[in-house]
Structure 1
Amino acid sequence: MAVDLSTTIAGVKLPNLLLNASGVNCRFENELQQLVESKSGSLITKSATLNSREGNPEPRYAPLAGSIGSINSMGLPNQGYEYYLNYAKNFDYNNTAGKPLFISLAGLSLAENKTMCEAFRDANLPCVLEVNFSCPNVPGKPQVGYDMEAMEQALQVLDPIIGRPFGIKLPPYFDIAHFDQAAAIFNKFDNVVFVTCINSVGNGLAIDLDSETALIKPKDGFGGLGGLLVLPTALANVNAFYRRLKPGKQVIGCGGVTSGKEVFLHILAGASAVEIGTQLMEEGTGVFERVQKELVELMTAKGYKSVEEFRGKVKTL
């Protein structure tokens, strides 16, 4: 039985619904090329700021014992938006794999986001923009995604500048009222056609038992949690927005994917595409081929021929 893993995001076709989580294997051109050559269905760049950033001091990423996930406080290390704009200008949009390009922007202010969005608008490229409102690891910079008023004001400025379908990267929400408030904001903007849920769960603390020391250096060891331990939070956010967003708006799931099983669960919760972060960091780009194979086997065993057949159809008691 042939299984169709293709999907469409922001009107752009992806040959399969898997891609990297922004921030993993996507800071430099050689890393992005590895994603092009992998079995991913698309790729997204590292979240860009106006100017290049080295990010927080090392060590700033660590896997957690027992393969339950990871902790990081990267601090937005990136090459500056012009580096990714140039990459987008030279990207082969007719590549044989049929992969589209997503560009992530994470200005440290609304003015920065405005400048970057204007530059991409003026370049008029077929890449898809994602504005990151959820950077939990930049000291002194709160997440816009947790300030509903600031988020709506930012979209009022950025939506007409971008002027075509784009998405938003979101932090995890933990209160039903926040799901309601955020979705109501996104539903006001026709160009906001997808949200990516979730960025890492902010400000966890992992401590090594033997040395009695925090695992990472920045922020006194506080960092964003990712990997398998955040799966239930990711699924809740995916499903919450799947239920609340207007028809035509989609959710990209991110968080907790180690195998085809978790991808299946993200789709069941409502995801139209699924990103892999921690597991990509630990395993490398071969993860896409493995997870894709596992997903096909699972769907075949359940009798599903396409992801559309079970998207958002999680049963409740």
Structure 2
Amino acid sequence: MATASSKTYIVEHLDPELGTWSELEYLAIARESQEAGAKFCLSSLPETFKVPEALSSIPSFTAETRGVEDLYASDKSRVCLLDPAAAKDLAPEDGEKFDAFLFGGILGDDPPRDRTSELRKKGFEGRRLGPIQMTTDTAVRVTRLVVQGKTPLNEIPYLDHPELKFNKHESTQMPFRYVKGQDGKPIMPEFCENVPGKDMDIMEEVPPPLEINPPLLNAACPWATTLDDLRRLYACPWTGAVTTRTSLIHGFDHDPAKHQYTFFDAGQTGLAPNASINSFGYSPLALESYLGFIKTISDEQSARSSKGFIVSVTGDPEDIERCYKLIATAAQDMKFPLAMEINLSCPNIPNRQPPAYSQDLLSAYLFSLQRAIATGGVNLTRIPVGLKTPPYTHATEYQTLIAALEQAAANTSSGGVCPLSFITATNTLGMCLVVADDGDLLSSPAGPGFGGVAGAPLHPLALGNVAMLRRLLDSNAAKLGHIRVVGVGGVLDEEGFRRMMRAGAHAVAVATGLGLKGVGIFEEIGRGTERRQSQI
């Protein structure tokens, strides 16, 4: 039987580094645990992890390289897993049943791994904290109030998505649930209360535009993985920019046995392939590798150029903040401009919905981006940033995106604008199946044959996404009208390029066409456009 006073709150931290945001949340947890007579443990820490002195000096805190499976190997029943998929809500009587409360979350991995799901399968009993996303320190705070303070979950005073005011003119809306303090304000780490409003002044500005001339480029895809790939794309005179394959801070665990692609004839006419299906995640190369490739190409140029690179990245919101600072810092030493694309749209990550379908997740990413821009201040030249979106098939999905963009605009000073410069629409359509007479065409984490479809079958949907996004962005021109749309999806020739431009694209990106025809597809499209213009 557990005792009411000997509680341990465990957060699994798998990342070798600790961001400022997480550090201050952990400090808040450790201090509050100390005051409550409880313990706070970071488990599964990498051997190279350096615990900040301010954290290690708090008596309630312990750091463990062992995982919770080892720490409680003799009695898993003493551990409660805080799990949004659990059958029961956390209740005061759980304080009598459990000694330790585990927050597995999606911390640490790139892309964020559903660690909670893994722990659930290992037999840890779960409890829910409610439907609205909380910060880590809030989740621990709520758990402590329930199991030590004996306050039922539904009687805790909450503030959802509170507005944080810096001064009478400046504020930001936090995309999380917080506990309401006695002063009526959300309880949050000291860093939130001390954010200097003047650092948000930069957010009043319209972000730098994404310039692509000619308006033709590659999309993030397998044919933009290596240094040689990027060199060929950059050397092509018909491309106005080059996009890297989507990367992560630490790289993606690519497995050729299950991450595959193939081409096929969508019309089953027996003619040449015009479509692709893939079960890829992201690039096995880390962001640092791509910044190195780009620096090599920059050093090879004899003069400065307006033709630059779009560095496609993904990860959790804190990773995106780090990515922005790394890319913006690297941009200062290049002979051409850099931009950043945040890919929130891959359909092939098991147990993880593309974040661009969720307003709360979109808001969390945009908030991290705004924080990165604001804290960079005058020390970093601001670079264009965009989102890569999944295919939207219903009006409510567009409304989700637009609501998040408008909220981001509202987070800035009065009259602020959304911090994005562009949207890349659209990624592949997931959970598709292509079957050949002799069996499945590829392996996939989702099962044999399943993957994301691109090329000709995606083209009408991609055109619709581009046209609808352009219309919705222009309908709120003051805050969103500056956002440009990069159209991608099924462009295989000059006709497809023209359709995408007519739909409202600022520039057109090619992926499947690049895989089918090589870099020559850009010349084919470019020369076709020139011939048509000469006939007008």
Determine whether 1:285 maps to 2:526.
Answer: no
Deviations 1:156-201 (A, max 9, x none): 1122314533111000100112212312322434320210000001
- Letter of the 1:100 partner, please give it: G
Deviations 1:75-128 (A, max 9, x none): 213310111122334442775774211111111x22322322232234453311
Deviations 1:233-267 (A, max 9, x none): 00000011101113211100000101111111111
CA distance in 1, matches of 2:369, 2:212: 25
Q: Could you tell me which of 263, 269, 275 is aligned with 1:63?
A: 263
Determine whether 1:11 maps to 2:206.
Answer: no
For structure 2, the 5+ residue unaligned runs are: 1-206, 375-381, 410-417, 474-479
CA spacing shift, 1:134–1:12, aligned 2, 3 Å: closer
- Letter of the 2:398 partner, please give it: F
What is the CA distance between 1:28 and its match in structure 2? 0.9
Q: Corresponding residue for 1:103? A: 311
Q: Corresponding residue for 2:441? A: 215
Q: Could you tell me which of 223, 227, 244 is aligned with 1:25?
A: 223
For structure 1, the 5+ residue unaligned runs are: 1-8, 304-317
Q: Corresponding residue for 1:306? A: none
TM-score, normalising length: structure 2: 0.51
Q: Corresponding residue for 1:37? A: 235
Q: Could you tell me which of 429, 433, 444 is aligned with 1:201?
A: 429
CA distance in 2, matches of 1:91, 1:276: 21
What is the CA distance between 1:31 and its match in structure 2? 0.6
CA distance in 2, matches of 1:132, 1:214: 28
Q: Corresponding residue for 1:3? A: none
What is the CA distance between 1:12 and its match in structure 2? 4.7
Q: Corresponding residue for 1:84? A: 290
For 1:40, what is the secondary structure of its paired residue?
A: coil
What is the CA distance between 1:136 and its match in structure 2? 1.2
CA spacing shift, 1:94–1:204, aligned 2, 3 Å: farther
CA distance in 1, matches of 2:433, 2:317: 30
Determine whether 1:115 maps to 2:313.
Answer: no
For 1:135, what is the secondary structure of its paired residue?
A: coil
Q: Could you tell me which of 247, 256, 267 is aligned with 1:48?
A: 247
CA distance in 2, matches of 1:56, 1:100: 31
CA distance in 1, matches of 2:355, 2:519: 31
CA distance in 2, matches of 1:98, 1:118: 21
Q: Corresponding residue for 2:368? A: 157
Q: Could you tell me which of 377, 382, 395 is aligned with 1:176?
A: 395
Q: Corresponding residue for 1:72? A: 278
CA distance in 2, matches of 1:252, 1:297: 23
Which has the higher mean CA deviation after the structures are superposed, 236-245 or 140-149?
Answer: 140-149
CA spacing shift, 1:97–1:25, aligned 2, 3 Å: farther
CA distance in 2, matches of 1:153, 1:54: 25
> Are the equivalent residues in 2 in contact too, given 1:101–1:127 (CA < 8 A)?
yes
> Are the equivalent residues in 1 in contact too, given 2:324–2:372 (CA < 8 A)?
yes
- Letter of the 2:532 partner, please give it: L
What is the CA distance between 1:29 and its match in structure 2? 0.7
Deviations 1:198-244 (A, max 9, x none): 00011101111x21x22111121210000011111000000111011
> Are the equivalent residues in 2 in contact too, given 1:56–1:74 (CA < 8 A)?
no
> Are the equivalent residues in 1 in contact too, given 2:231–2:297 (CA < 8 A)?
no
> Are the equivalent residues in 1 in contact too, given 2:321–2:371 (CA < 8 A)?
no
CA spacing shift, 1:10–1:137, aligned 2, 3 Å: farther
> Are the equivalent residues in 2 in contact too, given 1:76–1:137 (CA < 8 A)?
no
> Are the equivalent residues in 1 in contact too, given 2:433–2:451 (CA < 8 A)?
yes
Q: Corresponding residue for 1:307? A: none
CA distance in 2, matches of 1:207, 1:150: 34
Q: Could you tell me which of 191, 207, 215 is aligned with 2:419?
A: 191
TM-score, normalising length: structure 1: 0.85
> Are the equivalent residues in 2 in contact too, given 1:19–1:275 (CA < 8 A)?
yes
Q: Corresponding residue for 1:129? A: 340
For 1:251, what is the secondary structure of its paired residue?
A: strand
CA distance in 2, matches of 1:10, 1:265: 27
Across the aligned residues of Structure 1 and Structure 2, the Cα RMSD in angstroms comes to 2.1
Q: How many residues align?
A: 291
> Are the equivalent residues in 1 in contact too, given 2:210–2:421 (CA < 8 A)?
no
What is the CA distance between 1:300 and its match in structure 2? 4.1
> Are the equivalent residues in 2 in contact too, given 1:253–1:266 (CA < 8 A)?
yes
Determine whether 1:263 maps to 2:474.
Answer: no
Q: Corresponding residue for 2:354? A: 143
